[in-house]
Amino acid sequence: MKSEVKISIIIPNLNSPIIDRTIQSILEQKTTYPFEIIVIGSDKYKKVKAFGDKVIHIETSRPQPPGINRNVGAESATGDIFLFIDSDCVASPLWVEKHLSIHLKKEELVIVGGGVTFPSKNYFTLTDNISSFHEFMTHIQNGEKKYLPSLNLSVSKEAWSIIGEFSDFSASEDIEFTMRALGNGISLFFEPEAAITHLPNRTKIKELLHHAFFHGNFTLKGNRDFWEKMDTPAIMRHWWLTLIFSPLLSAYVLFKMVFLEKLPIKYWHTLPVVYLLKITWCIGLVKQLKAQKG
């Protein structure tokens, strides 16, 4: 039965210096499922080329948002399941098996999101990861979610045909995609054991602040077309209220991380900077709200 299910592993790439590690981790998967690897984007370091015909490489003439590159990959994919991973991630040995086990177990159509792990070597990189993916760390219980990130995501070809493509948003395209799936009756399931290690190249506080501001500026919570779908609180629908209450909003996120999500104690030393990043995210949201008002 397993050999009858084919997987297309799709990787958007924008000159990642570690995409060779991403590809190698896929080639070393402990799985009996046949799969193809499709990389879409630019590869100035020639990391993809070194794998020859083990990888289908679709080069783009100019940089494109990752969602658009995923769409290009899906158009060329021949698999029954599309499995998405980012080019700064390394898959755990059972990554494919854990994703597919959920698809085969569920009777209904489902999108599966996997857990995110990260090394602790660089404090700022660790903090950036925790701030971005605290809801999807591997200690979090498996189960239904309201949205899932696309750096570790699988969707059947059948579900893809119902949902449609990723949007061309500058950010949060994965949130919009998975929420659109929910609206079409497709459930979202989080399986922490389908884990990847995320290795972004942000190592300085300035880079973290820019990243947090960018995502606040493009969050769907600030987009009036998504206020109802995202359950955006009334405070966060007005730029001046968001600005005034940003310290309290950020403190509430930390409360959730520690007391509801049970962030392991070994990561608590990152919380002061995470708090700063959440305030910076709120300032990015303020910019978005002010622009919409104008």
Q: Note the pLDDT of residue 151.
A: 98
Question: Which residues are bridge partners to 36 per DSSP?
Answer: 8
Pairing outcome for strands 187-198 and 143-144: antiparallel
Structure tokens at 157: 């070809």
Q: Note the pLDDT of residue 162.
A: 98
CA geometry: angle 7, 8, 9, nearest 5 deg: 110
Structure tokens at 189: 């399931």
By CB atoms closer than 10 A (0-12, 13-18, 19+), residue 51 is middle
Distance separating alpha carbons of residues 116 and 68, to the nearest angstrom: 23
Q: Note the pLDDT of residue 1.
A: 44
3-state SS of 75-111 is: HHCCCCEEEEECCCEEECCCHHHHHHHHHHHCCCCEE
Q: What is the pTM (predicted TM-score) of this model?
A: 0.96
> Are 114 and 85 spatial neighbours (Cβ–Cβ below 8 Å)?
no
Q: Note the pLDDT of residue 293.
A: 74
Rounded to 10 degrees, the C-alpha dihedral 157/163/164/168 comes to: -120
> Are 126 and 205 spatial neighbours (Cβ–Cβ below 8 Å)?
no
Residues of the chain with pLDDT under 70: 1-3, 294
Q: Note the pLDDT of residue 292.
A: 87
Distance separating alpha carbons of residues 40 and 1, to the nearest angstrom: 30
The domain locations on the chain are: 2-198, 205-293
Q: Note the pLDDT of residue 3.
A: 56
Task: Write the pLDDT tens digit of every residue in 116-160.
Answer: 999 989 999 999 999 999 999 999 999 999 999 999 999 999 999
The total of other beta-carbon atoms located within 10 Å of residue 118's CB is 22
Superfamily of domain covering 2-198? Spore Coat Polysaccharide Biosynthesis Protein SpsA; Chain A (3.90.550.10)
Structure tokens at 207: 């880079």
Distance separating alpha carbons of residues 14 and 199, to the nearest angstrom: 14
